[in-house]
Structure 1
Amino acid sequence: MPSLPTDSPGPAPYPAPPAQPVTDHTEGPEPREAGARRAGRVALWRVAALWRVAALWRAPGLALSLLVLLLVLGWALLPGLFTAADPLRADPAHRLLAPGAGHPLGTDHLGRDLYARVVHGTARSLGTAFAAVALGVLAGGALGAVAGVAGRAVDAVVMRVVDVLLAVPGLLLSLAVVSALGFGTAQVACAVGVGTVGGIARVSRAQVRRVRGGEYVEAARLAGVAGPLILLRHIVPNAAPPVLALAVTECGTAVLGVASLGFLGFGAPPPAPEWGALISTGRDYLVSAWWLTTLPGLVLVALVVALHRVGRALEREERTG
């Protein structure tokens, strides 16, 4: 048989694909795909925000609570927009007037406009309560963080102190502290703040212990990051949301505590308007001028209920979200 030629050409090879230019993604403008993804995330965030607003208005109780908070914050920040009356101006000729067109909440025993005194007293009452909660968050959060990351011995000592704080009723503890510190707005803020430390410390400890076992914390520890930096950069930011949600609820309790101490005479000295002092002054006129105590008390109750309602909603959102 004749032999096949060895130099016969084979099938034609496929043409080589054209060389693609190498794109350096580390410099230059953002790739189109990444920009589209980022725009998509922004759009989804906006849709989620609109959905949350719609869901809020489907919850009339929460919406009403937010409106109450906005109104009270407006009183505290810009009282002159809501009333032009002087809260310290006495007019004995118009003393103990019932609520009417000229005086929406009536007048007190010296003829001072009660609505103006409630509005102008909001800043002092609300500011004292917020300062108390801020003190409680700082002290309680620090105690909880130390107990959550320290050893068993430190954890046991800190939590026994927290148990003692929780065993004493908040108002009784505040009375003991303010009796030792003296009268005044700052002393009331410290006294009420001490009463909020225990609950915030317990929640802070639980959240820190939950977060410190996360993979990102272990990765940072294996990378050689120092313990304090891990606590500040990774643990505290992820453990803070539940604590802040609890702080909103504690604001309602703090407002009630500040008013209680003001009612007992430990708050701002007269004639400064303060909610607790207003209610205390009106108790001598419950029969002849019921509005002196009832109407400021209703404002106080509305604010406390609104703060608790918003705080519970934030806690529920934090658990489900």
Structure 2
Amino acid sequence: MNQQMAEQRTQIQTLIDNIETVMVGKRETIELTIVALLAQGHVLLEDVPGVGKTMLVRSIAKSLDLDFRRIQFTPDLLPSDVTGVSIYNQKEMEFQFQPGPIMGNIVLADEINRTSPKTQSALLESMEEKHITVDGMTRPLNDPFFVLATQNPIEYEGTYPLPEAQLDRFLIKLKMGYPVKQEEITMLDRSTHGHPIDAVEPVMTRADLLEKQEEVQDIHVSASVKQYIVEIVTNTRKHPLIQLGASPRASIALMKAAQAYALIQSRDYVIPDDVKYMAPHVLAHRLQLTAEAKFEGKTDKQLLEDLIKKTMIPVERG
């Protein structure tokens, strides 16, 4: 490990440690969220209320000293409530743009499945294009730009589930789960004299993050590892229990996620284990199972793990 990579690992681990002062026992979730941030992707977090989804995003924003915005999605929310709107200024006798919450660096899209497909599309288009168009004028979003969207898995009445084409725009889908007993006791201890989020201080700058996002793109991916990625993704399209397999966008997403994970592991190259570890998090939400698979109680992650086991792992030589 060269000195530069060692310094990178130290800085990233310091960031993760800082966030973990708020998110007790959720190191893997934090690490995977940072992977998405470094890979310039976005995260869909599906879990029950009260497990810390909002605190995760706020602690990331505070640790990086970035602008945090929160959008509470409701059935009556309009696309302009997300992107912003032009308002006529009588004094200046001209229209002036009032930016919406999408113009932040770190954006929490809370309960995204509670709003109409039209408003969902306004957010998801912004995520993909990294700009918004209001009154015919295109405006770039801030850099860095990261969205963490949440949805509640137990309340389906009055919701608008994201279609497969929109799920495909999230780099990673995560679930946090409840803490174990000792972790929950630690949370109580830390919350005795105020919320831990109030004590979070920045440990990285915007410039540091942008530099690391650039470095992720320089992480080497060999021809054999690229072949391995494509074989895994292609096999999802051939599996008898998968009705809709992963798209070519998924292959790109898996490569970028593996590159970011390699950087966190202090390597300037991707190994097959990086791909194996990231594949369920990147690919599972992009699959649509057959009725037979659902009847048998199969899950997308189970099918992926089985598929990955049957895919030959490349051996690097030289």
Relative to the length of structure 2, the TM-score reads: 0.25
Looking at secondary structure, tell me which structure has more strand per residue: 2
Looking at secondary structure, tell me which structure has more helix per residue: 1
Relative to the length of structure 1, the TM-score reads: 0.25
